[in-house]
Amino acid sequence: MQKRELGKSGLEVSAIGLGCMGLSYGYGPATDIQEAVSLIRQAFERGVTFFDTAEAYGPYKNEELLGEALAPFRSEVVIATKFGFNFDANGGQSGMNSRPEHIRAVADQALKRLKTDVIDLFYQHRVDPDVPIEDVAGTVKALISEGKVKHFGLSEAGVQTIRRAHAVQPVTALQSEYSLWWREPEQEILPTLEKLGIGFVPFSPLGKGFLTGAISEATTFDSKDFRNIVPRFSKEARKANQALVDLLTAIAARKKATSAQVALAWLLAQKPWIVPIPGTTKLHRLEENIRAAEVELTAEDLTNIESALATIKVEGDRYPAHLQARVNR
């Protein structure tokens, strides 16, 4: 697979990474561990070198899974994980925590779970309003100087926070949602990242599965699937947003590709320092996503997509209100 550099950091990764959350958390029952290990290893065999996890996924189970799966070729891959939450005895999130001593503890625990001696990319999972971002960046800077971490990242941070953090410790990548049905980062985030030389890692690049065309207003989700509480996945919103999927389907037919591949190719065409991390539990979807790197959208294709999108209004918020408050701080 083609490689891309995240901003001007020198960190080179596959043009498409693998978001591993859904193997353990968020979309219903966890995948069987050996099946998940096999999928991760098959991703590597097909050229994926960038794997995304977090202590919150499980919690802890996803990091342990990656540690086992990637151990045979650890030196050939880039592992990104995250800090920033407390967890209760039942594994639920019990508030944010980016205090320096907590960041250090999470780093030490993550190193053990990932079976490694260094974290390639360490993200603050969400901006903690109770801890100055300068203290967060300074703590990660110290971890980098100690050899425990290589690169610092932020997730769902606003532009002022990005600038303040970057002044203390260069930020290698921002991870936030970005796709054909969530384009808000284009307003302020992307110009800021370009100016500062920071890479961008879009999560949910396929709209949490919606842009694949596999979800309709008739779809029912598992009781543990968090899409049940997402306004954009209400039955009414799914019906209204089908117009976007229909557009993708038509473009994909002309390109002899799938809707998912066009959605990923569109992201890759936006900037050379954008690296999407679609997730999946299925090998055929993994292979489909990887092949998106081979789909070339011409300037005319991109113009046509832009014109068509201008006629479509996406319905529904991307988070329920209590989670929306955590983003763009």
Positive or negative, the CA dihedral 174, 179, 185, 189 is: positive
Task: Give dist(CA 225, CA 218) in Å, integer.
Answer: 16
User: Could you give phi then psi for residue 260, rounded to 5 degrees?
Assistant: -60, -40
Cα 163–chain centre separation: 21
Task: Give dist(CA 136, CA 104) in Å, integer.
Answer: 10
DSSP one-letter code for 179: B
User: Could you give phi then psi for residue 152, rounded to 5 degrees?
Assistant: -110, 135
The Cα angle at residue 162 between residues 278 and 128, in degrees rounded to 5: 85
Count the neighbouring beta carbons within 10 Å of the beta carbon of residue 66: 30
The secondary structure of the chain in percent helix, strand, coil, rounded to multiples of 5, reads: 45, 15, 35
57 is catalytic: yes
DSSP bridge partners of 171 = 152
SS3 121: strand
Count the neighbouring beta carbons within 10 Å of the beta carbon of residue 71: 12
Scan for tokens 């001007």, then name that residue: 8
Task: Give dist(CA 179, CA 186) in Å, integer.
Answer: 10
Catalytic residue among 25, 27, 57, 178: 57
Catalytically active residues, by annotation: 57
